[in-house]
Amino acid sequence: MIGTVLEVNCGLAPQVQLTLKSLTISLKLHADNFDRLAIKVADGAAGPANENACAGLRGRTARISYHLVSDKGWDGEIQDVELR
């Protein structure tokens, strides 16, 4: 899904939780280990700063691939991220 990262919670490191909004849909997404996440940067886009990469996702446009989950506090598990 392509959208804007509205919220990012990096406080449970290495886990990360974020909210991705696209038009009228908002999804809460999760990753067990932010450091192992595949983060790509599209042509012309700037990557997040290394020292604050997790929080640097906030406000960014991104294409995030995920798997839907049930019985969790979030909607899906992040597979990879492409910053735009």
Q: DSSP string of 55-70?
A: GGGTT-EEEEEEEE-S
Cα(67)–Cα(84) distance, integer angstroms: 21
| Domains of the chain by start residue, with CATH | 2-83 (2.40.50)
Cα(55)–Cα(32) distance, integer angstroms: 16
Torsion 6-58-1-80 (CA) sign: negative
Model pTM?
Answer: 0.87
Q: Helix, strand or coil for residue 36?
A: helix
- The model's pLDDT over 16-71, given as tens digits with 9 standing for 90+, comes to 999 999 999 999 999 999 989 888 888 766 666 555 688 889 999 999 999 999 99
